[in-house]
Structures are given as C-alpha cells and as structure tokens.
Structure 1
Amino acid sequence: MFSSFFSAAPPVDPTAPNFHSVTTNVSDSDLFGPLEPKDMEWACAGGFVTETQTFYIIADDGRNIMYQLIHSSVGLWYPTLQFNCKIYDPKTGESIWKSINVANFVTPPPGLDKRSAKSDQCSITYQSKPGSDHPESYLLSANLGVDLQVSLEVSRPATAPGWKLGKGPKGGFSYFGPDLEKPEGYVVHRFWPLTEVEGHLIINGKAESLTGSGMFVHAIQGMRPNLVASSWDFHHFQSKELGGVSAIQMEFVTCDTHGRHGAGSGPVTVNVGSLVINKKLVTVTGRTTWPGEKDESTIVSKSTHLNNILDPHTGYQKPSELDVEWSGPSLVADAPGTVSGKVFMDVGDVDQPKGLIERVDILAEIPYVLKAAVSYVAGTKPFMYQWINPTKIHLTGPEAIAPGLSEGVDVEGRMYTESTFISLIPEKVAA
C-alpha cells in the first residue's frame, strides 16, 4: 500500500501537492457518507498502521468512560494489541485507568464477522437488529479481575446513522504523498455520532448499573503517528435536553512536510464533525484550511484554542479556553436550511485547571515497539490533555427539527475534550 515503508521517493515536481484532504472533491452539500458494513470491519493491516475502536460514554451520573482497543502494526514485527479503559468521576476526582496488552486476539470470532473482535481480556461484539429503533449495537465486555469488569450494550438509534465524510469506499480518507494510487500513508475515521448505553460495571467487587449516552469512532492511521500530524483535537458533547443532543468533532493539523505545494507548504488543518438534535443526525461538517489560502466553503467545522499558556509540565502552549463551532446544511428532508452549533469551554490555567482529568504522557502508555518507532524522531514529545466540564451548546436551525431552534436554543450538557500535542511545531504553538 505504501510506496516505501519509512519514506517515499521524492516526486518529480517537489512543489506538487503531497497531501489530499478528506474534503477534497466533496461538495458542501454532499458531506454525509453512509457507513457500509465493511467500513466497520477490523482491517488489521500490515506496514505501519495503528487501528482503534473507541467508545466514549458520558454516564447519566456524570462519569466519563472510555473503552478502547488498539491494533498496532510496526513494520515486520508481530502486531501489538492493547486494551485501554478509563473511568473518571468528576464529582469525586477519582479515576480508574487500565491499560494492558491483550492475548489471543481474533477477528472474526467464531460465528461472527470482522465487525467483532475477541481476546482473553476483552471483546467487542457487533449485533444487527434491522427494522428496530436501534438497528445496530455493540456488546462490550472486559474482565480485568476483581478491580474492574465491564459489561455494556452500546446501541445506535435508527435516527442517527453512522457516517464518514464523503461517500463510497474512499469516503473518510485523507491521503499523504504525491501519488494517490500509491499513497505514503492515510488517515480514516468512521463514526456513530450518538449511542445509548446501558449495562453494569464491577469495581473492586461491587456491581454498579450504568446508563448514559455517547459516541463511537473507528479510526486508522496508516503512517507513523508523528508523520501524520503535529496535533489533534477531539470534542464530544452530550445532553438529554431537546430530545437528545450530541455534538462531535475531530481535528488534526499536519506537519509542515505536507501541503498544497509539497514539503514545507504545511501545516494543513483538517476538521470533521456532526450535530445530532432531537436524536436525529441533522448535519455533517468538514473543512480543510490550507496555509495562505482563503477558504470559500460555506461549512464551519472549527476548533480554536484561546488564551494559550506555556505548561512547564509538557513544554506545550495549552489552551485556557476552547471554542468549538459547527455549521452545515440540514440532512433532515422536511427541514431544509442550515444547522449550527457553538460550544465555549473554560479549562482553566496550569495552576488552577477546570475539569482536567489527566495530562497523559503518551510515550509512557503506548506499546514498546510503537514507542521505539516514534520516540527516535527529534522533537517528538507527545502529550494529551483530557478535560470534562459542564457547559452548553448554542444551537440554531430549522424550527421543524426542534422547537425554538429558529431563534436559537442553549442546551445544557457536558463536553469531553482531548487535545493532543505530538511535536513542537511553532505554527501550532502560536495558534
């Protein structure tokens, strides 16, 4: 799949485009790409590929849960499988964090297809219920001893279909390298924008029931992480108000090695997201910002760091505030128009953070072989900030979607955010 494993041969024209964004050749009115069954299958590709399935949940009692399985291939080495689970209670500040290498991973498990996976420690089992109010679901199970056991059903409402940006087999992909037929690497994301969750946890031998809502993302990076991007932002807002609201957004900033005019013409900012209102997927947004170019797109899909402060713990300029925006055409057939959303979240400064779950040293958490392949690159010092805070989203759109939307509605909820810095790129630090 790659023209070379560690580096590509230089293009004939060194100023030729060497990055092709997911929004390229996708019109503003055609951003929604329905998921096909194959989109949700485990690829388990070789080369240098990191594949994740991640379930983010905001429980009705306020707890934040992440359930994640990672398949990492590093060249000719045998793939590493890692399971991560984090449960954070903002009321008490207590956090449970489990990160283990799993054994005997298999996909598909006997009697199932490759949308399911199983190991000795955890499993992700896909279920199809066509024609029902929840036509698809995943059963999540993990047994990590008396400390933590997980048993949850994550269901997708029929009114909130899964999506990728752009239709067809290449929908959702951004490609790296000058030759689209032989890319140096790629990034792809597929989403369930709203899930309903129920089940139970067993923590230190005590069973607890759990209900909530969330989202699911299946992501693949077909390239060394430090070559894909200098930074990532991910936002996940949930509310029970207005019939059920979910707002998700993912943004990455390429290194300056990839851009419209070859090496040195980046960094390029790629952002995709969606809004669910009244339990309906109402818009999908996507926007690419190229350095030095004016964007004529009518779509707004944007994550902004405000009042950045140097964090001596990481060496990065962390935001004190976050501004997240969506605006795109309505996907609801009987409610044409534009749907917009905006969230502002105060995450505090270094000494007095607000809603900070953890400042994650990524090299301390990832498998050894992946760490070795990433850390040798000069300047690579990846850290992730995780926050969750009560906040509100301001929504506008056609009145037919939800009462009051035409005048604008403020919806109270909670937003979980990950801001990941991978390398000290001046353009990102100054953003």
Structure 2
Amino acid sequence: MFSSFFSASAPVDPHAPNFHSVNANVPDSDLCGPLEANDLEWTCAGGFATETQTFYAIAEDGRTIMFQAIHSSVGLWYPTIQLNCKVYDSKTGERTWKSVNAANFVTPPPGLDKRSSKSDQFSITYRINPGSEYPESYLLSANVGQDLQVSLEVSRPASAPGWKIGKGEKGGFSYFGPDLEKPEGYVWHKFWPHLKYEGHIIVNGKAQAFSGAGMFVHAIQGMRPNLVASAWNFHHFQSPEHNGVSAIMMEFTTCDTHGKQGAGSGPVKVNVGSVVIGQKLVTVTAETTWPGEERESTVISKTVHLNRILDPETGYKKPSQVSAEWSGPSVLSDAPGTVAAKIGMDVGDIENPRGLMDLVDILAEIPYVLKAAVSYVAGTKPYMYQWINPAKLHITGPDAIAEGLSNGVEVNGQLYTESTFISLIPGAD
C-alpha cells in the first residue's frame, strides 16, 4: 500500500502537496464514518508498519488499565509482537507496568476471524451478539508474570457505534507522499468511543475486581514513526454521570517535511475526536491545521498545551495545563444541532507534578526492530507523559440529547491524557 522505505521516487513537482489529511474532502456532516467488519481486522502489514490494538479503561475509584498489543514489521525482518499492560491506582500512586515480547502470535486463532488474536502471553477474542444491548465485545486475557494478570470483558453499547473519519475503505486514513494511489506511508485510526469493562486483575498476587468505562482504538502507522509525526496528544475522559459520558481525542503533528507545498511546508496538526452522552455517540469531530492558513470549517477539534516549561530530563517543553475542545454537528437524527464540549486539566510543573502516572522513555520500551530504525535518527528522542486527574467536562447541545443541555451541563469525571514528543521541530521554541 506504500512504497518500500528502502527506496522512494521523488515527486515531479517538489512543491506538490505531500500530505493528505484524514478529513480532506469529507463534509462536516459526514465525518462520522461507520465501521465495517473488516475495519477491525488485524492487517499485519509488511514493509514498515506498526499496528496496535489499544484498550483504555478508567474505574470510578480512579484506577486505570491500558492493554496494548503491537505488531511491528520493519522491511524484510520478521515481525515483532509486543504486549504492553499498565495498571495504575491514582489514590495510592501504585503503578504496575509490564512490556513483554509475545511468542507464537496468530490471527485469526482457530475458529475465529482476524478481529481476534492469540499468543502464548495474551489473547484478544472478538465476540458478536446481534440485536442485544451490547452487540460487540472483546475478551482480554493476559499473563505477563506473577505480578500481573488480566481478565476483562470489554462491551460496546449499541447506542455508541464505532467510528472512523469518512466512509468507505479509505475512511480513517491520512496519507503521506504526493501520489495518493501509491503513498509513501499512512496513518489509520478506528475507534470504539465508549465501552463497559468488567472482570478482574491480579496485581502482585492479589486479585482485584475491576469495573469501569473506557474506549478502544485500532491504529496503524504505515511509515517509520519518526517520519510520521513530531508529536502526539491523546485525551480520554470518562464519567458515570448522565448515564455515561465520554470524550476522546487523538492528535498528531507531522514533521515539517510534510505539508501542502512539499518538504518544509509543515508541520500540520490533525485532530479527531468524539463525544458520548447517555451512552449515545452524539458527535464526531475532525480538524486539520495547516501552517499559515485560517480555519474554514465550523467543526472544532483541538487540544492546547499551556504554560509550557522546559523539562531538563527530556529536553522538551512540557505543559503545565492542557485543554481540549470539541464542537460538531449531532449525529443523532432525532436531535439535530451542534454539540460542543470543553475540558481543562492542571498537570503541574517539573517540581510539583499533578496526576503524573508515568514518564515513558519510548526507545527503552519499543520492540528492538523499531528501536534500530529510529534510535539513530538525529533529533529523535521520544518521551511520553501520562497523566490522570479529576476533571470537569462542560457540554452544550440540543435538549433532545439530555435535559438542560442547551443551557450547558458540567460533568465530573476522570481525564487520562498522553502527550508524546518524538522530535524537535526546526524553528519551534
């Protein structure tokens, strides 16, 4: 689907657009693309691709779980499979983090389709129950040592369907390179925005029941990670109020190598998100910010880092506060209008962090084959900050969605945030 990273043909016009955003040519009214069955199948792409299935959950007591399976291929090398699993208790600060190479990975496992996978260390089993309140689910199971075992059922409400930006087989894709028919690379995302998590975990030999809400994303980076983006942001808000509210957002910033006028015309910010109220998907948002251009769309999908401070440990300017904003047309036919939401969170400074779960040195955690491909690139030293804090989501929208929504409601919940810095952008402060 993309040209080999060992060789790439130069564009005829060096000033031709060499980045094509996921929401390009997608009307605001059609941003919410329905997922097809094969949208969630493992592709196990060759060449250079990193494919992930990532499940995030937040319990009402503030515990969080991240469960991530990674399929990595680099050129002609044999793919590497990795499982990352993190459990964090925001009340005690206890963090259990395991990252292991998985053996004997297969998809599909016998009797299942490629939405499922299995290895010696974990299994992800897709199940379907048409016509029920929860028509789709995954069973997650992992044994990554005596100090961490996971067994969870992850169920999607019928009223909160999965989505991608745009419809059809090319929905959910941003493409790199001047030729859309033969792109140099791509980024691909499909989401389940609001899920019920039930099950148990075993941490340091102690069994714990786990019940909460969360989301799921299936993603692929079809190019070397350091060429795809200079930074990523991710927000995941969950609340039990109003019968279940969630707001999710994913944003990546391209390197300056990709933009509307070829190399040097970036960086470009691509942001997608959604809001769920009462377990109903109510809006899907997407916004692309091109350097030097004013926005034309009425849809808002953005995140901002405020009061940034240089962190001597990483060399990047980390935020002291983060904010996120969504605004888009309702996707509910019986509740037309605009749904808007805003949230902010104080994450503290270097000496006094607030809700800092982890600061991840990504090169120390990613599979060896990926490390070999990116660790020697000048200016590339990726770090990820992870925070979780209580937060308030301010929402407005049609009263047909929720009583009093037109006057605005304030929803109390937990906001999980990741800010990932991969490389310094030339000219950026």
Q: Aligned in 2, Cα 1:390/1:44: closer, same or farther, shift over 3 Å?
A: same
> How far off is 1:412 after superposition?
0.4
Q: Normalised by the size of structure 2, how large is the TM-score?
A: 0.99
Q: Which residue of 2 aligns with 1:353?
A: 353
- Work out the CA distance in 1 between the residues paired with 2:322 and 2:246: 17
- Work out the CA distance in 2 between the residues paired with 1:131 and 1:102: 35
Write the mapping of 1:44-193 to structure 2, written as runs, cut at 5 A: 44-193=44-193
> How far off is 1:245 after superposition?
0.4
1:276-310 deviations in whole A, cap 9, x for unaligned?
Answer: 00110000000101111111100000000000000
Write the mapping of 1:257-336 to structure 2, written as runs, cut at 5 A: 257-336=257-336
> How far off is 1:425 after superposition?
1.1
Write the mapping of 1:23-62 to structure 2, written as runs, cut at 5 A: 23-62=23-62
Q: Normalised by the size of structure 1, how large is the TM-score?
A: 0.98
Instruction: Indicate if the aligned counterparts of 1:21 and 1:173 stay in contact, CA closer than 8 A.
Output: yes
User: Which has the higher mean CA deviation after the structures are superposed, 142-151 or 46-55?
Assistant: 142-151
> How far off is 1:203 after superposition?
1.9
> How far off is 1:204 after superposition?
2.3
Q: Which residue of 2 aligns with 1:233?
A: 233
Instruction: Indicate if the aligned counterparts of 1:8 and 1:177 stay in contact, CA closer than 8 A.
Output: no
- Work out the CA distance in 2 between the residues paired with 1:145 and 1:360: 21
> How far off is 1:426 after superposition?
4.3
Q: Which residue of 2 aligns with 1:198?
A: 198
RMSD of equivalent CA atoms: 0.9
Q: Which residue of 2 aligns with 1:390?
A: 390
Q: Aligned in 2, Cα 1:6/1:350: closer, same or farther, shift over 3 Å?
A: farther
- Work out the CA distance in 2 between the residues paired with 1:60 and 1:348: 23
- Work out the CA distance in 1 between the residues paired with 2:6 and 2:297: 35
Count residues with an aligned counterpart: 429
Q: Helix, strand or coil: the match of 1:363?
A: helix
1:240-264 deviations in whole A, cap 9, x for unaligned?
Answer: 0111100000000000000000000
- Work out the CA distance in 2 between the residues paired with 1:316 and 1:134: 43
Q: Does 1:409 align with 2:409?
A: yes
Instruction: Indicate if the aligned counterparts of 2:256 and 2:265 stay in contact, CA closer than 8 A.
Output: yes
Runs of 4+ aligned residues of structure 1 deviating over 4 Å after TM superposition are: none
Instruction: Indicate if the aligned counterparts of 2:4 and 2:47 stay in contact, CA closer than 8 A.
Output: no
> How far off is 1:94 after superposition?
0.6
Instruction: Indicate if the aligned counterparts of 2:54 and 2:68 stay in contact, CA closer than 8 A.
Output: yes
- Work out the CA distance in 2 between the residues paired with 1:125 and 1:147: 23
Percent of paired sites with the same residue = 75
Q: Does 1:337 align with 2:337?
A: yes
- Work out the CA distance in 2 between the residues paired with 1:266 and 1:145: 44
Q: Helix, strand or coil: the match of 1:237?
A: strand
Instruction: Indicate if the aligned counterparts of 2:100 and 2:144 stay in contact, CA closer than 8 A.
Output: no
> How far off is 1:219 after superposition?
0.3
- Work out the CA distance in 2 between the residues paired with 1:7 and 1:190: 29
Instruction: Indicate if the aligned counterparts of 1:7 and 1:184 stay in contact, CA closer than 8 A.
Output: no
The one-letter code of the counterpart of 1:404 is: G
